[in-house]
Amino acid sequence: MNTVLITGSTDGIGKETARQLAQKGWQVILHGRSEQRCKSTVEEIRKATGNSDIKYVCADLTHFVAIRKMAEEVKAGFGSLKVLINNAGIFKPQQSFSSDGIEQTFAVNHLSYYLLTGLLLDLLIKNAPARIINVSSMAHSSQMDFDNLRGQKHYSGHEAYAQSKLANILFTFRLAEKLTGSSVTVNCLHPGVINTKLLQAGWGMGGGLVEKGAETSVYLATSSEVEKITGKYFSNNRITNPAEIASDREIQEQLWYVTAGLCGLNY
């Protein structure tokens, strides 16, 4: 059975990705912060697709303890995991911090990807060939300010978001190299400029349909064309080039080191 876990899947691109994979007969594990939203989304997708094998896990991705608990729940409840899609993302116009003392944009958009992936890596390797997919954005930054990763010096919602999306790509490229020979691939993507709550909150504008936004995630999860491809950045189902800094090995290593320290997990 093909099982996929999609973070941030009670709304927007994540929800549509879940619907499309359910339509293909996959076992889908939804994720959201609200149990009520998770339950209603499960029912909605079951009715829309006729696929009854839709489950959910609930966690606030700003909290390390919640992410660890969620990972344990997935490992205990599901013997198989073929695809992990780190899709959850937020935009915070005003600076706010998690209970772990981390700026929330950085916590959700990058640290949750790193921590959840690390905690579920054994399960993915056990079920290899398996795939890890990180949802980034063309809005990623062209530089990484390590002195202001958590908004210590100053805060801009757009800068924080852009830096977190660059972090997704740096993480993807470094992890792909670490997993060489494991039959677990790691790729990232730009979903397009899509009409989501995040786009409206951050840029005050609309965009394309969520069906289009889910397209590349679904492609990377299912297509035989990318079976052996790893460590790449995709847009519109094609490999494309991110900012030059994303390929800087020293920057990748530095971010990994900092991230491992913050999350209390190195892998």
Q: What positions carry a catalytic annotation?
A: 161
* Chain Cα centroid distance, residue 200: 20
Alpha helices, DSSP H only, in 204-248? 210-222
234 contacts: CB under 8 Å, gap ≥ 6: 187, 188, 189, 190, 216, 219, 220, 240
Sort residue 12 into left (φ over 0), alpha (ψ -120 to 50) or beta: left
Map tokens 């290899």 to a residue: 128
- Within 10 angstroms of residue 35's Cβ, the number of other Cβ atoms is 11
209 contacts: CB under 8 Å, gap ≥ 6: 194, 195
